[in-house]
Structure 1
Amino acid sequence: MAENQNLQEKIKGVFEEVSKVVVGQDYLVNRLLIGLFTGGHILLEGVPGLAKTKTINTLAQVLDLGFKRLQFTPDLLPADLIGTMIYNQKSGDFEVKKGPIFSQLILADEVNRAPAKVQSALLEAMAEKQVTIGSETYQLDRPFLVMATQNPVEQEGTYPLPEAQVDRFMMKVFVNYLDKNSELEVIRRMTNLDWDYKPKTVLTAEDISQIRTEINKVNISDMLERYIIELVFATRFPADYGLDLEANYVQFGVSPRAGIALYNAAKATAFFDGRDYVLPEDIKPLAKDVFGHRIILNYEADADGVTTDQIIEKILKTVAIAGR
């Protein structure tokens, strides 16, 4: 128990250290840490200038892990990401030159600006924790976490990510504008030429491994396990849950990965809160981030201005927890 308290204090220390550099992004840091401690990749979306890249950069400094930042562009090649075979004139043999994907934390910046072949290479790394160079397959370092940022698809030069790749992201987090007080603090910091804080390392790789082990021990009751399943099935068969209007808008519900992601994220949230058991209040706030990018709506929903968030809100209000 004392060891858990020590780890939980260190997690709080991560939030404190990041907040010394980045203002008003505790929600974002929370979701990134959930992904890190449960092995899930995180997709961030928001207009430029909201400190998405800055937050991830700062978090990487606070964690004692290898970190690489990849700027995705339309002319990026798979070899730029995973590496390639090069000819060694001295030995007369081809040798592997590993790419930047061989790190523990990967920031895929503006991931939806890269072409399909690059997305395919990234998908293998995310799904299998391995890459293929030539005829050989290479395992990636553990932990391995992709934290990707994307610009809204309406912006010029962006491409919608394939559904299979989007589904590999544990959560999709929308980064919104700051409130007035937070934005004022940002202006004060960024215009102060003497301000240059260097974040300290708070968590080591050993700490992260221990936290993962303790999160895995968090209890979740059979009642809440079944509640997660009901939420998942309500996205697939809304009419069965009395959601007849929503059934007209949903083309495809969430995949089995959504239930796994919600299950793991709820356990991590409980651990962050100092508990060894999950409450319904741990599950519900995570549903939008876990389900939102996996529910595919039809053209009728687009025409009527219906969003996935609205569908999820209605599901959360309608689906009850058995026994309560």
Structure 2
Amino acid sequence: MTALIIAEHDNGTLKSATLHAVTAALQCAEQVHLLVAGHGCAAVANAAAAIKGVARVLLADAPQYAAGLAENVAAQVIALASAPGSANSPYSHILATATASGKNVLPRVAARLGVAQISEITKVLSADTFERPIYAGNVIATVQSKDAIKVISVRATAFAAAECGGNADVLPIDAVADSGLSRFVSRETTSSDRPELASANIIVAGGRGLGSGENYARLLEPLADKLNAALGASRAAVDAGFVPNDYQIGQTGKVVAPDLYIAVGISGAIQHLAGMKDSKIIVAINKDADAPIFAVADYGIVGDLFELAPQLTAALS
């Protein structure tokens, strides 16, 4: 059996989430191929070839892939997965990480292949049986698929990142034509010197208890600077306009599992806990002793965050 992974990248850098998908794929199949679809992305293909466990990198380099439009990437995957007799297919598994990119492409692939998608797996029990969380992570479902091709999104936090040191072949392949179903208009991005939220080792997150965006910046940014941490937030803080929505952690945001998670002014709604409860060490600061966040916290401080957050920052000086 051979698994195909859809690499996530920005045409210059391979996203670290792909390394977690490689680990999951190696538990599903004997051989792993990795598809890099982009434009001017040779450096990404070379980085992918250096991942241990990857047997072959398929490079589809064409202008229609420059923006990573889901319709075009999905068409390329279908061309590979449904070509009987090809040396690179059929594939027993098609995987991507459960990021915005993966969630955009995989449903299109599954629909066109006429198979069910298995979303956000957290464990591989066998080649056709997987575990995935449901009900905001309160129940773990065991799912078995009899489809000829398993289309799977991987929760990156549940699998270790694959190591580098491999030496896979890079095979250029023919790109499929532009589907014409969508076009790239513009992209607005935010730049930061802080670690990327989804892969950070330390995260400082704030909730509605901070009261305003000004308080969020005044209290949490100095703490994050001391720890070289990423900044995150609950949905309530995002909805209130304290921070942009790419800070959001939870069921409808990013799922994270850092070594240290500091929750400041976050009550701990079930939707938020679904996105961070697998963190190795959780520290919570909240004035409500009965806040649900304390049920998952390793260390809890009951008190006024406007006093405690600066004290914690000062203690790290």
Q: Answer 1 or 2: which has greater strand percent.
A: 2
Q: Answer 1 or 2: which has greater helix percent.
A: 1
Q: Is the TM-score greater than 0.5?
A: no
TM-score tier after normalising by the smaller chain length: under 0.3
TM-score (norm 2): 0.28
TM-score (norm 1): 0.27
Higher RCO, Cα 8 Å, sep 6+: 1
